[in-house]
A and B are shown apart, each in its own frame.
Chain A
Amino acid sequence: MKEYLLQLADNALILGHRLGEWCGHAPEMELDIALTNIALDLTGQARSLYQRVAELDGLGKTEDDYAYLRDAWEFRNTLLVEQPNGDFAHTIVRQFIFDSYHYYMCQALTQSKDEWLAGFAVKSLKEITYHLRFSSEWMMRLGDGTPISHEKTQAAIEDIWTFSGELTTLNEVEKVMASQGIGADLEKIKPAIAGKMAEVLAAANLTAPTGTWMQSGGKDGKHSEHLGFILAEMQFLQRAYPGQEW
């Protein structure tokens, strides 16, 4: 259970962190506000999940112990969310792929047999519904905007697609959780996720690559080289000055 919650939490934390990097540098002020909103929602979700893990752990740990005092191999996020922001097209494609998964996954979790998790999912689903609408709309603006935006967005899809498969491929933890009716059964929701992505891509005049090799490993702690640098930055103060209140 804890492993499962950490997967969910780490995805939210790391993607929220990446979006926070945009703050002050977005293509327009309205986008600064929107991207920060999503970062706030995701970081907030990560907090709730870490707090729950701490409760289940019963070791007197806090939310910050999980975010700031684990090393890369202990993180359980997917490879997708740790990918760099790149240009705005890369950020939107990454977000859209994640939101498509996140939305249907979270919708499934609202039916979880675990009462806490179901409640968390109901609350988060409202936020994620907005995220998916935002990223879908931007996929269409960029894909069906100008020839330049189309080209950049198609290129971003080619770069990022390889990380999309991991989201819907169950690892051992997810299999166990799904079999107990606690976790989302990704096999079941896979068609809905694929359907949503196909619908938006078609409306945006964009094409999903075929036959792409899907990278995986993040859910089991085997990450890309990027995560180490994210953590080096994020954990700097907690590591340099251990055990202090901030």
Chain B
Amino acid sequence: MNNLNFETIFQSKIDEETKIEPKDWMPEAYRKTLIRQISQHAHSEIVGMLPEGNWITRAPSLRRKLILLAKVQDEAGHGLYLYSAAETLGADRDDLVQQLLTGKAKYSSIFNYPTLNWADIGAIGWLVDGAAIMNQVMLTRTSYGPYARAMVRICKEESFHQRQGYEIMIAMAKGSPEQKAMAQDSLNRWWWPSLMMFGPNDSDSTHSDQALKWKIKRKSNDELRQQFVDVTVPQAEYLGLTVPDPDLRWNEERGHYDFGEINWDEFWSVVKGNGPCNRQRLQARVKAYEDGAWVRDAATAYAEKKEQRKLAPEATAKAA
């Protein structure tokens, strides 16, 4: 069989909703696209620990502190499963991490924005995790089996994250005038970056068509963004907060909200490294990696010694 036949079989599996598994034949471009997408997702989980981690030591109650610790811990766990999913495609976790640290690989731009007041922890759960869930629920049906299964588990935890975020927003929005001001300030800063999370408009998206054909993605950027706006605007209304978009209104005819134009200059500028925290986020990851090198070396050296002692207990006893 030549590649053409393999490709036909591959596409027909996808068309009939059979999952592609690690040992199945797949086009190189499919493999590459998935490694890129899954590792970007993993990097986003790991970098995403930083803006929220920023408030762990300042969480305003013991209950909130426990929830936040658990949430940030979940993100580390998600990073781990996703790197493992990428490894089923023949990638190596260390190489992927190197790509992040050298700036070669991207991660979600949303994490290049700062967390400035406690309501930001609520807004990240509500909006950022909310936007991520739209994408991830779709990905539970993605064509690559290990990725789809990782997503099922991740989605369960993410929906808990989103609920806790919204719960913080409720407490703040229904609280004192200062708390309400924090909540509004935070919505003002996170609303537009959250809409940007879905990526460029369909007309400008370079990866979309093929990804839809391969069922890596199952909905377009604009469809997901619209779905997010439709779900989120009533939630903001319930909170009594104002979405910072003067063009936002319900369109009876479409059965959807219309919303204003995203500032794509800002989007591309942050992607290119000019967001408020791009430099700090990467520096924090590089520092953790470099400062931890001697620890990882020690663990490797110790494991090797232990293995040797197991193999030659007598020799070790004599040497000692």
Contacts and interface: CB of A to CB of B under 8 A. Distances in A.
A238 B294 contact: no
A148 B297 contact: yes
A21 B73 CA distance: 13
Interface in B267-318: 284, 287-288, 291-302, 305
A31 to B, nearest CB: 8
A40 B73 contact: yes
A145 B302 contact: yes
Interface in A219-246: 233-234, 236-238, 241, 244-246
A50 B62 contact: yes
Interface residues of B, number: 46
Nearest to B119: A246
Most interface-central of A32, A44, A50 (chain B CB within 10 A): A32
A226 B178 CA distance: 30
Contacts of B64: 246
A46 B62 CA distance: 9
A39 interface: yes
A140 B305 CA distance: 11
Contacts of B291: 27, 87-88
B58 A246 contact: no
B73 A246 contact: no
Contact of A43 (B65, B72, B298, B300): B65
B297 A140 contact: no
A24 B288 contact: yes
A43 B57 CA distance: 12
Contact of B302 (A20, A25, A141): A141
A238 to B, nearest CB: 6
Nearest to A148: B294
B295 A27 contact: yes
Interface stretch (B9-17, B74-82, B213-221, B226-234): B74-82
B60 interface: yes
A128 B164 CA distance: 28
A36 B57 CA distance: 12
B131 interface: no
A241 B305 contact: no
Contact of B62 (A31, A67, A233): A67
> Chain A interface secondary structure, helix, strand, loop or mixed?
helix
A7 to B, nearest CB: 17
B97 to A, nearest CB: 9
A146 interface: yes
A244 B70 CA distance: 23
Contacts of B49: 23-24, 32
Contacts of A129: none
Nearest to B45: A29
Contacts of B118: 237, 246
B56 A26 contact: no
A20 B76 contact: no
A52 B147 CA distance: 45
Contact of B305 (A29, A47, A144, A234): A144
Contact of B178 (A17, A140, A241): A241
A26 B175 CA distance: 35
Nearest to A236: B58
B302 A144 contact: yes
Contacts of B298: 141-142, 145-146, 148-149
A140 B302 CA distance: 8
Nearest to A246: B60
Contacts of A44: 66
Contacts of A25: 53, 284, 287-288
B34 interface: no
A29 B62 contact: no
Contact of B69 (A40, A141, A244): A40
Interface of A: 13, 17, 20-21, 23-33, 36-37, 39-40, 43-44, 46-47, 50, 63-64, 67-68, 87-88, 140-142, 144-146, 148-149, 152, 233-234, 236-238, 241, 244-246
10 contacts: A13-B62, A20-B57, A21-B57, A23-B69, A24-B49, A28-B296, A44-B66, A64-B62, A149-B294, A246-B64
The 9 A-B pairs at the shortest CB distance, nearest first, are namely: A27-B292, A145-B298, A149-B298, A24-B53, A24-B49, A237-B60, A27-B295, A246-B60, A36-B73
Given A23-B49, A149-B301, A246-B171, 18 more contacts: A23-B56, A24-B76, A24-B284, A29-B76, A29-B79, A29-B80, A31-B292, A36-B70, A36-B73, A37-B73, A39-B69, A50-B62, A64-B62, A141-B299, A145-B298, A152-B294, A233-B57, A246-B168
